[in-house]
Structure formats: C-alpha cells, structure tokens
Structure 1
Amino acid sequence: MKKYILFTILPIASVFSQSDVRILSLQESVDMAIEKNISIKQSELSLKDSQINKSSAIGNFLPSINAQAQHQWNIGLSTNFTTNLLETNTTQFSSMGAGVGLDVYNGLSNVYQLHRANLQILASKYQLDNMKDDISLMVANAYLQIMFNSEILKVQESQLELTKVELLRTQDLIDAGIFSPKQIFEIEANLASQEQSVIQAENNYRNAKLNLAQLLLIDDFESFEIANEDFDVPFSEILENNPKEIYNKSLTFRNDIKLGETNISIAEKDIQLSKAQLQPSISSFYSFNSRIAYEDNSAGFNDQFNRNKGQTFGLQLNVPIFNRMQTRNNIKRSEINLERTKYQFEQDKLNLENTVNQSYNDLKGAIKFYEASSKTLISLKNAFEDTTDRYRLGVLSSFDFIQAKQRYESAVSENIRAKFDYIFKLKVLEFYFGIPLTIPAD
C-alpha cells in the first residue's frame, strides 16, 4: 500500500515541478535582463546624478539665505557695547541676524551651467539606452544559442534511437544468416559514439541555458525554458538596401551616435563656462543684526533688540585681473577637450560604418552558406535513405551504412548551425536599420 501511494504521489509532484518552469520569450528575456543588469542599474544612477546636477544649476539662480545667533560670556576687562565703555566685570551678550546674497551677474555662468546640466541628462539617457541596446543583442545571441543547441540535441537523440533500431535490425539479419556476426560491431561502436554525442549535446544545451541565466541573473537555470517552437527561416528585404543606406539610417537613431553629438555640445558649453571666468561678476547682499546685553540695569529684551538692530546692504563688484594664468589655461584645456571629443565622434561613426559593412557582408555570406548547406543536406539525406534501404537488404556492409549515416548527421548539424548563424546575423543588420529585435519563435 505504501508503494502504491508513493508511485501515485511521484507523478503529481512531477506535474507541480513542471508547472514551476517559466517559459520565456525573447522579449521577456530582454526585458528581464534590462531590469536586472547591474551595469544598467549603475547607468540609471548616473542619470539620477545628472538630474540632481540640474537641480543644483537651477538653484544657482536663487538667493542664499542664512541666519545666525550667538550667546557669549565676557569675564574681566571688556567693552560694554551698550555704553561703549571698558568695564571689569562678568557680562553676557546675545547677538542674532540674517543675511541674503544673490548673484546679479557672473558672466552668464549660471545660464551655461543650466544648459550643460540639461545636455548631461541627455547624454546619460543616450548612454543608458545604448547599454540597453548592447544587452539586447547579447540576450538575443544567448537565446538563439539555446534554440540551436536544443535542435542539435533533438537530432542527436533521434539519431540515437535510429541507431538502436538498426542494431536490432542488424541482429535480425545476422540471425537470418545474411550478415556475419562481425557486422554488428560497427553498429555497436556507432551506438556508443551516438550516446557520447547525446551527452555532449545535453551539456552544450545546459551551458547555453546557463549563459542566458547569467545574463538574466537567474540563480537556477533549470527554472526556465525558452519559447522554443519550430519555425521557418525568416525572409527579410534588408539586403535590398546597400550598406551606405543602412549606415545613413543608423546615424539618425543610434544612441551611441546621439551620445557623441551630445558630448560635443557639452564640450562646447565647457568652453563658454571657462571664458565666463574672464568677465567681472556683480553680487548683491543684505544683512540684518541686533544685540542683547544681560545686566542688572539693562533695558528689556524688546527695547534692546529694537535699539541695537542694524542693517547692511549693497553691491559687490569683482573684476578678474590676473590669477596666475589659471583661467586662460582652463580655456585651452576645454578647447583641446572639444577637439578630442570631435575626433572620438568621428571614430564612433567610422566604427559604426565598419560594423554595418561587416554585418552586411556577413549576412550575405551566411545566406549563401545556408543555401549551400541545405542543398548538401537534401543530397546526403537521399543518399542516406538509399544506403539504409540497401543495407537492410544486406547489399551493403554496416561500415558503409555507418559512413553514410555520419555524413548525413554532419550535414544536419551543419545546416542547423548555418540556419541560426543566418538568423542572428540577419537580426543584427536589421537592428542597425531600426527594425525591432524579434525572432520567429518569439
């Protein structure tokens, strides 16, 4: 009875275990990677820091307000500020006040700082989006690797079952006296080799899942599966555009290009900020203060506060004359940085153009290779089917059968590899053309 209960519970537990496995589409995988990726989180913090810098730049236009209060004891000879006479005794005094300061003009530095802060926010956003683009491509590649290894595993398992069937058929032919007993040795050796191939395919599949799990920060790579469905090789008209057209379009939307343009604007703003230090600055100020003395014959608090209060206000002009060449050198450094940023932008555009050209040529080569491997697969499949029929009739030896079978298996694996290589290179080129990153199984 206990055994019956145990075997009843095990299938139910298996059902619950399978139901815990999450099926992930490509888009879900990309979204999860973007949400969890540590580098992206750091980039998001940089964006928040840029937003704080903008708040500080806005604050530069506001006045600064400070209040102060002080209480002190004087022992011995000191000046009584209510009589302005020197006295030798112990006295207590309190003072309090408030001050306001405001920059009236500082060479438009505050304006430039605000403009720069806005540009820095844009740069941080482009940097964040560019990082998301890179992560998306990495996830897509890892996702396709799982699909590729999954198909390879299915092929190896299918070939293993076929070898087992042929082993039984060979034994029947031996028993019937058509084959000698030695013929089975080749089949048994192929069966052992096929079992090794299945083990290797299973390991490659697990490693591919582990790679995606690391990108998604999933602890248990067994807790998810991909939406791995059969699909036809996608058709795309992307190659109807030449590399120059694809490159020109990528210049209009690529985040790394927008980032380079924004960095140039930031460098130009830095020059304006440096030059603003050459101009005079005007600031205004206002202060209010009062004092209270604590003595036996002193007046009341309110009387002293009103009697001793004072106000100060005015304007202050600062004219930079010579500061040991620091401002001039800062301007030169800013100008050099602008040139450096422009060169970097030109290099980024060259890198993008080279990447587009290489991706274009890679895709054309992948298409030709896939078409050739498909033709090879059809030919070797027909040859293998013919060899199988002749082997079962006892016309061919097991060695000839194994050779044909291995050539066919190699063609199947090569065709699968060519198919997924073509799909990934197609999606990369489409990505540079602004086409959303999806795959047929998604």
Structure 2
Amino acid sequence: MKNYSLLVTLFLFCGMMNAQQKEWTLEECVEYALQNNIQVKQSELDLELSEIEKLDALGNFIPSINGQATNAWNTGLTQNVTTGILQNQTVRNFSANLTAGLTIFDGLRNFKQLQRAKISRLASQYSLDKMEDDIALFVADAYLQVLFSKQNLDVLQAQNEVTKEQLTRTQDLVEAGVLPQGDLLEIKATMADEKQRIILAENQIQISLIGLAQTLGIRDYQNFDIVDRDYAVFGNEILANSVYDVIEKAKEERSELKIAEANRDLAEQDVALAKGAYLPTLGAFFNYNTRETGQGRITGAVLDPTEPTRQIGLVQDTEQIVVAPNTIPTLGSPLPFFDQLYRNDGISYGFQLSVPFLNGFATRNAVKRNQINVKRAEFQLEQAELDLEANVYQAYTDAKGAFEAYEAALVASEAQEKAFEYATERYDVGLTNAFDFSQAKIRFENTQREALRAKYDYIFKLKVVELYFGIPVRDLKL
C-alpha cells in the first residue's frame, strides 16, 4: 500500500512538472521558428529538390546500363527451334541481354543543364534565406505585440490600484459630507470602465500569444507564454548612415535581388539549352545477348523406315530421277543451361548520329520563347531593384519617424504624469472634482499606452532597417 501511494505521488508530481509553463525568450522564439515554421520547412524542401535536380544533371554524364531477361513458355502450334517444323508442343525459351549507352555529344546540353542546376540551387538557397528573414520579422513583431499587451495590462492594473485608493478615500469623504455623492459615482464609473479595459487587455494578451504560437508552429496554446522582459531601446546608431548607404548595402546583401538575378541566369541557361537542339547528337552503344531453350538438340540422323529415299532432282537428258537418303533427325537432351548461354551469346556495338534538319520550327520557337523569358526576367530584376529601393527608403523613414514619435511620446507621458500628480493633489484637498480627476487620469493612461506602443513600434522598425543593412537574422540585437 505504501508503494502504491508513492507511485501515485510520483505520478502526480511528474504531471505537475510537465504542466508547468515554459516561458520563451525572443531569441528562443526566433530560433524555434526557423527550425519548425511550416513556410521555412517548405523552402527547405525546395532546396532539397534543387539538390536532386543537380544529381539529375550529373547523371547525364554517366553511361546508361540496362539489363533484361525473359523466360517464357509457349503452348500450342509453335515452331520447333531445333527442327524448324511447326508442331503442337509446350516449349520453354530463355533470353537475356545487357545494353549500355553513352551520350558523347549533344550540343553541350548536358553541361548547360548542370550549370542550370547549380544556379537553381542558389536561387533556392536565396529563397530560404529570405523566408528565414521574413519569419524572424513576423516572430519579432508578434513577440513585441505580446509584450506591449502585457505592459499595457500592467499600466491598467497599476492605475486601477490608484482608482481603488481614490474610491476608498472618496467614499469616506462623501460619508463625512466633504464631497458630493456625484464624485463617488464618478469614481465608481471610472472603476467599472477600468475593469472592462483590464478584461479586454487580458483577452488581447491571449490572442497575441496564440498568434505568436501559430507563427512558431506550437499548438499547445494553453501552456505557451513568453518571458516578461522590458527591452531597452538601443542600436539606433545604424540610422546615422544615410538612406542611400543603407540602400546600397541592401543591394549587396538582400536576397530579393539575388533571387531575381538567379532567375535571370536560369532564363539565359534555358536559351542555351534550347539552342543546343540545333546541333547533332552523337551516342555510343554496346549490347550483349544470349539465349537458351528447353527443347532437345539434334544428336544424329536415321533413315525414314517408311520412305528411305526422297527425290532431289531430275536428269534433263535422260529424265532419270535423282534420289537421296531420307533421314530423320534424332533428338537428344538439351545442353546444360550455362553451356547454351555460352554457345549462343553475341554482342553488338557502334555509334549513332542524329542530325536535326526540320522539326516543324519547334527548336526555333523554343529558343525564341526562352529569349522572351530572359527579357521578362530582366524586367523583373529591374522591378525588384526598384521595389527594394522603395522598401528600404520606406523602412528607413519609418524607423526615423518612429524614433521621433517615441521621444515625443516620452515627453508627453512625463508631462501627463506631472499633470496627474498635480490633479491628484488638488483632488485630495478638494480643489477639483472627481470628473476632472478622472479625465487627468485617463490622459495619463493614454500617454503611457502610447509611449509603450511607440517604443515597440520603433524597436521593430529598427530591426527591419538592420536586416536591410545586411545584419544576419541571428545576429540582430534584441
């Protein structure tokens, strides 16, 4: 019984330990997302496919070797391969062959295909890099949104504690006849409004956590939480660079342009592949074959007892009939299996040349289509460069504006804090009513919330600029 109680206790303890929440840091969230996010995994699969494409291209340089073997039974009227006579029989025949082929020259398409496969792999790697950058930003944005929601809740709860104190004090003053009943009702209304906003803030935290968990690929929403950490504002020295410096750096480092350049190179390789069809193709082949049969072999001959001779001709002058012995072959057991294979084998080898003359303009049209694709890829590269310049300029401007908005929000928050302190002092001595006090309190709460929002908005926009500046996603200072 004691052992049973001990087991139950251990089981419950392990269950409680497993149920404990793991609090995630931003760095852990980013790293986990890069390993488990579905979109990142799909990009990794694209990279694996490009590796297979490269192996396919390498395989074109290797000879093809194929073997075939057939063992068949024929029943009914079939030719006796020994005597050449049609007869009703059941016979077994075996054949085998081995064929090897090698492309010696195909208009250099094998080499072009290998080059194309290498470029395709680079394009897949650039796409994976871009996806990792995008996911890291999504995670950072979602994480900062959770932090903002949590700190917003802290502000509301802290202000609610102040309201509770004021409610107690106002109730005492109303009962003492110092303040009118309306002041108490105003404070109670403020208390009810704050409770409602606290509930909404708590719900917003859960919604933000679920959004972050989904980005990470975590489905245990109930036990998912993040570390309550106040991130400081730093790293704005990158904004000391001019926007044009950031743009030039982005052109060198960002995957968007690399992807567009790789797509243009792929289109150019497709043109080279299509042009290769104009040239002759030369190949070599080698074939080895052998066969075996279960029919008997001819071991000798005997005279036909019913017709010992047969006419083979006629002398023209004398019209004398010429006869010869009429023999019947005698059949013996077939030779052993491997002896027949050895006796009946053969080889063939040679070269095969294919020269294109006319194929309904298919090659010519294929070349023209791919040349059009090259022009389209060049336009897409030009557009990608324009988009990158616009995005960097927008991100740089947003980050600078967000920093100025954050500084202004801090000034406004500090001013409203002093105004609220002043309103509190006046309310405590009865120089202002509850409505004016509540309005001062609401303005202070709003400026605190706006300062938090501006802070995390600036941190996120600064990270965007850092990514455009070429800082790897895992090296971002958070």
TM-score by length of 2: 0.84
User: Which ranges in structure 1 are unaligned for 5 or more consecutive residues?
Assistant: 1-8
d(CA) in 2 for partners of 1:440 and 1:165? 44
Corresponding residue SS for 1:315:
strand
- Which residue is 2:307 aligned to? none
Secondary structure of the residue that 2:222 maps to in structure 1? Answer: helix
Relative distance call for 1:320 and 1:74 in structure 2 (3 A) is farther
Output aligned runs, 1:305-324, within 5 Å: 305-324=341-360
Kindly tell me: are residues 306 and 431 of structure 1, through their superposed partners in 2, closer, same or farther at Cα, counting changes over 3 Å? closer
Hey, what does 1:350 align to over in structure 2?
A: 386
Cα distance, 1:437 vs. partner?
Answer: 4.8
Superposed counterparts of 1:19-168, under 5 Å: 20-72=20-72, 73=74, 75-76=76-77, 78=79, 80=81, 85-88=84-87, 90=89, 91-168=91-168
Counterparts of 1:196-275 in structure 2, within 5 Å, are: 196-275=196-275
Residue 115 of structure 1 deviates from its aligned partner by: 1.3
How far off its partner does 1:89 sit? 5.5
**Corresponding residue for 1:366?**
402
Q: Which amino acid aligns with 2:140?
A: A
User: Aligned partners of 2:235, 2:45: CA distance in 1, in Å?
Assistant: 41
Contact kept? 2:142, 2:211, Cα under 8 Å: yes
Identity %: 41
For residue 405 of structure 1, the aligned residue among 419, 428, 441 is 441
Relative to 1, partners in 2 of residues 1:121 and 1:139: Cα closer, same or farther, differing over 3 Å? same
Give the residue type in structure 2 aligned to 1:110: N
**8 Å CA contact retained: 1:26, 1:439:** no
Partner deviation per Cα, 1:4-48 (whole Å, 9 max, x = no partner): xxxxx9xx98x9479711111112111222222222222222221
What CA deviation, in whole Å up to 9, does each residue of 1:319-349 have, x standing for no partner?
A: 0001111111111111111111111111111
Which residue does the alignment assign to 2:461? Answer: 425
Is contact 2:19-2:223 (8 Å) kept? no
Cα gap change, 1:380 to 1:122, in 2 (>3 Å): same
Going from structure 1 to structure 2, the CA distance change for 1:438 and 1:277 (only over 3 Å counts) comes to: closer
Distance across 2 between alignment mates of 1:199 and 1:96 = 81
Cα-to-partner distance string for 1:187-224 (whole Å, 9 max, x where unaligned): 11111111111111111111111110111122232313
C-alpha deviation, 1:148, in angstroms: 0.6
Distance 1:402 1:100, change over 3 A: same
Q: Which has the larger radius of gyration?
A: 2
Letter in 2 for 1:314: G
Structure 2: runs of 5+ lacking an equivalent: 1-8, 297-330
2:426 corresponds in structure 1 to 390
- Which range moves more in the overlay, 306-315 or 86-95? 86-95
Q: TM-score, normalised by structure 1?
A: 0.91
Partners of 2:151 and 2:266 lie apart in 1 by 50
Q: Which residue of 1 aligns with 2:289?
A: 289
**Do 1:116 and 1:266's aligned partners in 2 also have CA atoms closer than 8 Å?**
yes
**Aligned partners of 1:217 and 1:25: how far apart in 2?**
16
SS in 2 for 1:314: strand
CA contact (8 A) 1:234 1:440 kept: no
Alpha-carbon separation, structure 2, partners of 1:181 and 1:303 = 120
**Would you say how many aligned residue pairs link Structure 1 and Structure 2?**
429
Letter in 2 for 1:421: D
